[in-house]
């Protein structure tokens, strides 16, 4: 487990209601509750690395078919992006409202999915908490399966529940840009369980099912995963309401919000136009970065990644850590930092990242893709994030897996990088997904010319 210099609790003693302002409320909507609690008690002023460790019940909700909808609406231009924003926010808004009412903390968005946590006081409370989470999750599935969000537009989702110890690691990065890493076996549990679910289904990992202890009717699937259909009993645990930000919490909250979003919020522009735009996506897998990585070592890795990425004006989209490894998804081309040569900048950033990680003793594999994606704020006034959704994001994992310790990119990236980065074609690889039966071309960027580029 992460070595910890200080551990805080949700709902720490002495933190009461605060005076609310529209700006503070908007700022707070871009961070999870655990960051607001931390900001309210002044913990951001501590100059030591920190981690909060809790037994938790975890809910992972993934929308089905949204990437295909994104591609379809992309052909409609600006109006398609506006429609997409409305559909996504309508759906996510209802999902977030149910999670919040049940005492859950929407911690992370991952494109068209989200992760919510319910912290327990101790291991003994996990059992009742599992039922508390399963009940609203079944309600969510009944309410939002095949749910119409627009004229002829229907969406569904898959839900997965896991349980166990979760660590929330707070890392101080460059330019006072902090990152929140959520790690622990429950993340692996819901990832594996979600892979066995179909749209409209809710699955429970073995660890969470053991806590339910016969409280519901379920069908067994592979790897101890259960397909839950109903609960035979319901236990209501105490709900911890989402905290209001303290009047002096603004600076602390800002440190966990991406720079591009902060600039918009400072200009009092909380709702800005979503766009379908060309971006380059970087997917990095860090084999030696796990739940057991010491805090100081994790900090060095984070600063190495941030330094390289920010030099080429990229943005971190997602960081995830489980008991096996870590992954980071970054994007180049987001406003206001878009450039004509984003594919080249992405390749140069990845080499700088990998060189730095190697010096620290971290092995890594990197994939880079380029294409169109939906870029905008998703969620509701209660909880939201700026995100990127599209096939270009999903496909970035394919060259990363094939890279096996190196850097690989797709054809659009290689073509756009041009003569400044000589990319050598390799054997095409097959990818999963409907309509992707044909192998995908992959390329290896020329390291020598890449390093020598200005």
Domains (ranges, CATH) in the chain? Answer: 22-231 (3.30.70.1230), 275-452 (3.30.70.1230)
48: phi then psi, degrees, rounded to nearest 5: -100, 155
Q: Encoding tokens for residue 435?
A: 């309509």
Check whether 355 has a pLDDT greater than 60.
Answer: yes
Is the Cβ–Cβ distance between 2 and 53 less than 8 Å?
yes
Average pLDDT over residues 227-235: 82
Q: How far apart are CA 254 and CA 175, in angstroms?
A: 12
Asked if 420 contacts 344 with a C-beta cutoff of 8 angstroms, the reply is: yes
Task: Return the closest-CA partner of residue 190 out of 113, 93, 132.
Answer: 113
The arithmetic mean of pLDDT across residues 426-450, rounded, is 72
Instruction: Record the tokens describing residue 449, joined without a space.
Output: 């010319």
| Tokens at 12, concatenated | 């720490």
152: left (phi over 0), alpha (psi -120 to 50) or beta: left
Could you tell me the two tokens for 25? Answer: 């409320």
Predicted confidence (pLDDT) at residue 387 exceeds the cutoff of 70: yes
If you ran DSSP here, which 8-state letter would residue 43 be given?
G
Q: How far apart are CA 413 and CA 402, in angstroms?
A: 16
Q: Per-residue pLDDT averaged across 64-87, rounded?
A: 76
Residue 408: beta bridge partners? 367
d(CA 33, CA 54): 14
Average pLDDT, the chain: 83
Rounded distance between C-alpha atoms, residue 310 and residue 332, angstroms = 10
- Residue 411 CA to residue 88 CA, distance in Å, equals 30
Confidence of residue 271 (pLDDT cuts 50, 70, 90): low
Q: Please give the Cα distance from 110 to 64 (Å, whole number).
A: 13
- Report the predicted TM-score, pTM, of the whole model to 2 decimal places: 0.86
> What angle (nearest 5°) sits at the alpha carbon of residue 156, between those of residues 155 and 161?
150
Strand spans (E) along 179-311? 179-183, 202-204, 216-220, 226-231, 275-286
> Looking at residue 447, what is its pLDDT?
55
Selection from 227-236, 335-344, 437-446 with the highest mean pLDDT = 437-446
Q: Which two tokens stand for residue 419?
A: 């003569």
Tokens representing 263 are 């600039």
As given in the structure block, the two tokens for residue 14 are 């002495």
Band of pLDDT at residue 15, cut at 50, 70 and 90:
very low
Residue 236 has a pLDDT of 63
| Short-list 205, 450, 442, 436, CA closest to 322 | 205
**Residue 32 pLDDT more than 50?**
yes
The DSSP 8-state label assigned to residue 440 in this structure reads B
Contact 302, 173 (CB under 8 A): yes
Please compute the mean of the pLDDT values over residues 443-448 and round it to a whole number.
76
Least confident of 144-153, 157-166, 178-187, 349-358: 144-153
DSSP letter for 243, please.
Answer: P
Q: What's the number of CA atoms in the CB half-sphere (13 Å) around residue 7?
A: 8
Which position has the token pair 């961070």? 31
**CB 195: neighbour CB atoms within 10 A?**
14
58 or 378, which is more confident? Answer: 58
Q: Which helix (H) or strand (E) holds 407?
A: strand 407-410
Residue 433: per-residue pLDDT: 55
3-class DSSP state for residue 62? strand
Count of all residues that appear for the chain in the document: 454
Neighbouring residues of 429: CB distance < 8 A, sequence distance ≥ 6: 398, 399, 402, 439, 440, 442
Task: Express as a percent the part of the chain with pLDDT over 70.
Answer: 87
């Amino acid at each position: 487990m992460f070595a910890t210099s200080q551990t805080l609790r949700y709902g720490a003693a002495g933190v009461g209601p605060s005076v609310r302002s529209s700006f503070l409320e908007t700022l707070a909507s871009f961070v999870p509750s655990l960051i607001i609690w931390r900001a309210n008690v002044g913990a951001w002023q501590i100059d030591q690395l920190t981690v909060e460790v809790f037994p938790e019940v975890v809910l992972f909700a993934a929308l089905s078919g949204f990437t295909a909808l994104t591609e379809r609406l992309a052909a409609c231009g600006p109006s398609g992006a506006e429609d997409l924003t409305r559909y996504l926010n309508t759906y996510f808004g209802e999902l977030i409202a149910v999670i919040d009412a049940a005492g859950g903390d929407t911690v992370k968005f991952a494109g068209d999915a989200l992760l919510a946590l319910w912290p327990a006081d101790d291991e003994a409370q996990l059992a009742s908490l599992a039922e508390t989470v399963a009940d609203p999750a079944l309600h969510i599935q009944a309410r939002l399966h095949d749910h119409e969000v627009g004229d002829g537009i229907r969406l569904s989702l898959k839900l997965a529940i896991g349980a166990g110890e979760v660590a929330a690691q707070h890392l101080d990065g460059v330019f006072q840009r902090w990152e929140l890493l959520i790690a622990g076996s429950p993340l692996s549990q819901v990832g594996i369980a979600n892979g066995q679910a179909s749209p409209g289904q809710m699955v429970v990992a073995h660890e969470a099912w053991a806590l339910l202890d016969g409280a519901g009717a379920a069908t067994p699937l592979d790897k101890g995963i259960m397909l839950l259909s109903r609960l035979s009993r319901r236990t209501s645990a105490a709900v911890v309401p989402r905290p209001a930000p303290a009047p002096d919490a603004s600076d602390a909250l800002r440190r966990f919000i991406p720079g591009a979003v902060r600039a918009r919020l400072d200009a009092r522009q909380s709702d800005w136009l979503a766009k379908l735009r060309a971006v380059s996506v970087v997917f990095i897998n860090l084999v030696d970065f796990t739940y057991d990585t010491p805090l100081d070592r994790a900090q060095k890795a984070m600063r190495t990644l941030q330094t390289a990425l920010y030099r080429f004006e990229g943005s971190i989209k997602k960081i995830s850590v489980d008991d096996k490894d870590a992954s980071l998804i970054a994007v180049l081309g987001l406003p206001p930092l878009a450039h004509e040569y984003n594919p080249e900048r992405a390749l140069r950033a990845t080499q700088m990242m990998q060189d730095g990680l190697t010096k620290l003793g971290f092995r890594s594999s990197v994939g880079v893709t380029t294409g169109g994606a939906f870029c905008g704020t998703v969620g509701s006034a209660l909880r939201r994030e700026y995100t990127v959704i599209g096939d270009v994001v999903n496909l970035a994992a394919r060259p990363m897996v094939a890279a096996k310790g190196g850097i690989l990119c797709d054809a659009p990236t290689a073509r756009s990088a041009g003569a400044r980065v000589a990319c050598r074609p390799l054997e095409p690889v097959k990818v999963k997904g409907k309509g992707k039966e044909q192998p995908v071309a992959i390329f290896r960027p020329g390291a020598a010319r890449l390093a020598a580029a200005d």
